[in-house]
Amino acid sequence: MSPASGATRAARLLFLSLAAVALIPILLTELHLFPIHDLVGSTVPDTIFFEHAAQGLLQGHLPYGAHFLTAPDSRQVFVYPPLSLLLAVPPLMAGSDYPLGFAVEMLVLLGIGLWLLERYCRRAGIAFPVALTAAALLVALGPIVVTRVDGLQGLALAGAALALRGRRMTLAVVLVTLAALVKETVAVAALPVVVWAIWPPVGERWHQGLGQRAAAVGLGLVPAAVVLLTFAVWSRGKVVGAAIASVHRGVEIESVSATISYLLHPFLRLTSYTGRLASVQVSGPQVAWVAAIVAVVGVVALIWGTLHFAQGRRCPASAIAFAIAVSLAATPVFSPQYLLALMPVVALAAATEFEIRRANLLLGIGFLVALLTQVEFPYLFSSVAALDPLGMAIVALRNLSLIALAVCLLRASRARTSHSAMGSVAAPTLSGPSR
């Protein structure tokens, strides 16, 4: 059996088993066979929030304005970017079964995205089952894969990495900026993409071809700029205020900053509470300075990592994945669904930029991060929200694994850096995830 076929069989087995665990309970809940208050029902309310936004849009309410959302969320601010708002509209065709319609929409769009990812990987000569592995990593995160839009961002980021690999700089910028207009949580990925695109090829001076490289980046910004400008005019500038409202949030309980603050709990008191946008946050005398230190370390690591990968234009998938992993570890606002944006590009990095042993290690850590996340949300989230030792231990282990994933990404193989889009890539084998 070839390494590629062995990896495909392992990825298929993982995907089928993890998909059953993740999707069957949530679909039964959305079919009203399980109550909304069961263990996975807590993943549905955000979908209902999307429903009220879509209804407001079709009823002619001013996007992002006061009372844009329909009741009972009419007093809430819709904080998601424009493309998320557009994605919220099609499931209205499901009528009272909007959550089920939203889940079906996500399944269809994710399926199309994975098919496109696999198709272009094959065209690039990548024998490893990137799309199937990405799908397994996505469903390992649990029911949120079909109740959130972040998985679509992850596929767009993987596409951006493939575009950089094929020297298609404009397409890479288009994909990463449109991904940010689905949800701004991946905007940080634009930094390594733009720097990677602007950086001169090996052997060239900075001024050589700089205008051409800058023009390619500028052209890539046009689609996102058109979308943003359209909504800015349509909403009379309210879309900007909504984005600002999303920024002003406290330190969420699942963040690395909250984990460190919790470890200081015996010495400095820590409490949890429900803050803005219904997120569970932490409060204590140590929280602000811990969050500030973690943020500074994250910014330094992000800038250093961006320059590290840009030199010689090497390892675009690892560059993007590292930026996302570091930003998630450094941000005070960290929800489980944000990891959906990381997983597809991790699968691509393992397939194209790592030797076999390190590829297996990277994927193993990725599955560990995903599975621990599913355990803490939704299944143990009540324990997490109450600052119970069990729930917080799971979150701490997940956050430590996320940091380990970022460190592992820095070890991308230099030997894989110069392959063109049609280069031949050996396929690493795939060992099972740590459970």
Taking only the tens place, the pLDDT of each residue in 287-336 is 999 999 999 999 999 999 999 999 878 899 999 999 999 999 999 999 99
Rounded CA separation 308/166 (Å): 20
Going by C-alpha positions, the residue among 52, 284, 327, 33 that lies closest to residue 185 is 327
Q: What was the pLDDT predicted at 244?
A: 79
282 forms beta bridges with: 272
Task: Kindly list the distances between the CA atom of residue 166 and the CA atoms of 150, 197, 317, in Å, as whole numbers in the listed order.
Answer: 25, 11, 12
Q: How many CB atoms lie within 10 A of CB 418?
A: 12
Looking at residue 133, its amino acid is T
Q: Which residues, including other chains, have CB under 8 Å from residue 415's CB and lie 6 or more apart?
A: 355
User: How many Å apart are CA 205 and CA 63, to the nearest integer?
Assistant: 47
For the stretch 217-264, pLDDT in tens is 999 999 999 999 999 999 999 998 887 777 778 999 999 999 999 999
Q: Say if residue 426's pLDDT is above 60.
A: no
CA distances from 28 to 32, 93, 103 (A): 6, 19, 12
Q: What is d(CA 45, CA 98) in angstroms, rounded to the nearest whole number?
A: 11
Q: How far, in whole angstroms, is CA 126 from its chain's centroid? A: 23
Asked if residue 211 has pLDDT above 90, the reply is: yes
pLDDT above 70 covers a percentage of the chain that reads 94
Residue 424 pLDDT exceeds 50: no
Distance in angstroms (rounded) separating the CA atoms of residues 331 and 292: 10
Interatomic CA distance for residues 277 and 228, integer angstroms: 23
Residue 425's SS3 state is strand
Q: What is the pLDDT of residue 2?
A: 62
**pLDDT for the residue numbered 423:** 36
* Phi then psi dihedrals of residue 75, to 5 deg: -90, -5
Segment among 9-18, 52-61, 297-306 with least mean pLDDT? 9-18
Average pLDDT score over residue span 53-72 = 95
| Bridge partners, residue 280, by sequence | 274
pLDDT per residue over 387-409, tens digit each? 999 999 999 999 999 999 999 99
Closest-CA residue to 273 (of 287, 256, 260): 287
User: By the 8 A CB rule, do 395 and 335 touch?
Assistant: no
- Quote the pLDDT of residue 1: 54
DSSP 8-state assignment for residue 126: B
Q: Give the pLDDT of residue 278.
A: 80
Distance of CA 100 to the CA centre of its chain: 22
